[in-house]
């Protein structure tokens, strides 16, 4: 069931049922299908751009059908206009391969570790709070699923943050407004932010 919200937009979880809506939007994004952080390692060398897109799409479909891919989709009417991908550590393992993360991330206490890795908003709808709305909904969904520690990895470099394509992790401000605190620096471009959510 979709939830009505004050902005007039609605939200739904990514699921086999909403997969076609996600796919329509994902095509506008270009072909990454937000699967990068779901793979433990990169695809083999020599993969062409077309092969890469097809494989991403196929693998993403499989993950969604198996219930191993989570995201909040934001709708304007029947059209998906943005998403926020979230998931448990096991669903988004690639973060653990990031050297700066392994070096800098403080240990996490008891409870589930969640990650927020990717935002995408249809260019026509940007700057209207769609990403912030998706984030709020993702955090609420995490709460309903038992809560725990939630991590985000926004780009902190002003130069990079000025380019929309570099903001797929979101911005530090978005997370600060939701009660996240910076716990470590991730090299020169990013920060690790965390928030604890009680069930």
Ligand X SMILES: CC(C)(COP(=O)(O)OP(=O)(O)OC[C@H]1O[C@@H](n2cnc3c(N)ncnc32)[C@H](O)[C@@H]1OP(=O)(O)O)[C@@H](O)C(=O)NCCC(=O)NCCS
Chain residues binding ligand X by CB under 6 A are: 29, 32, 34, 82, 118-121, 126-132, 161, 164-165, 167-168, 171, 173-174
SS3 160: helix
129 or 147: CB nearest ligand X: 129
Q: Which of 143, 155, 163 is nearest to 190 (CA)?
A: 155
Angle between helices 19-29 and 49-65 (to 10 degrees): 160
Element of type H or E holding 150: strand 148-152
What is the Cβ-side half-sphere exposure of residue 95, based on CA atoms within 13 angstroms? 25
Task: Please state the closest distance from residue 16 (CB atom) to ligand X, in A.
Answer: 21
Task: Please state the closest distance from residue 72 (CB atom) to ligand X, in A.
Answer: 12
42 or 164: CB nearest ligand X: 164
Give the DSSP letter of residue 196. Answer: E
122 is written with which tokens? Answer: 């249809």
112 or 128: CB nearest ligand X: 128
Task: Please state the closest distance from residue 59 (CB atom) to ligand X, in A.
Answer: 14
Task: Please state the closest distance from residue 55 (CB atom) to ligand X, in A.
Answer: 15
97 or 146: CB nearest ligand X: 97
């Amino acid at each position: 069931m979709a939830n009505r919200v004050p902005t007039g937009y609605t939200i739904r979880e990514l699921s086999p049922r909403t997969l076609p809506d996600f796919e329509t939007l994902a095509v506008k994004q270009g072909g990454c299908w937000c699967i990068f952080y779901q793979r433990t390692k990169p695809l083999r060398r020599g993969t062409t751009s077309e092969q890469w897109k097809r494989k991403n799409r196929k693998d993403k479909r499989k993950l969604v059908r198996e219930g191993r891919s989570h995201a909040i989709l934001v709708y304007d009417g029947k059209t998906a206009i943005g998403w926020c991908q979230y998931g448990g550590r096991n669903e988004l393992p690639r973060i653990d391969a990031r050297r700066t993360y392994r070096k800098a991330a403080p240990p996490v206490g008891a409870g589930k570790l969640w990650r927020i890795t990717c935002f995408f908003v249809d260019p026509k709808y940007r700057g209207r709070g769609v990403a912030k709305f998706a984030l709020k909904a993702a955090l609420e969904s995490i709460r309903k699923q038992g809560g725990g520690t939630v991590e985000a990895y926004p780009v902190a470099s002003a130069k990079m943050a000025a380019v929309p394509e570099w903001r797929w992790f979101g911005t530090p401000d978005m997370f600060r407004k939701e009660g996240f605190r910076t716990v470590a620096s991730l090299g020169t471009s990013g920060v690790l932010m965390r928030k604890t959510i009680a069930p």
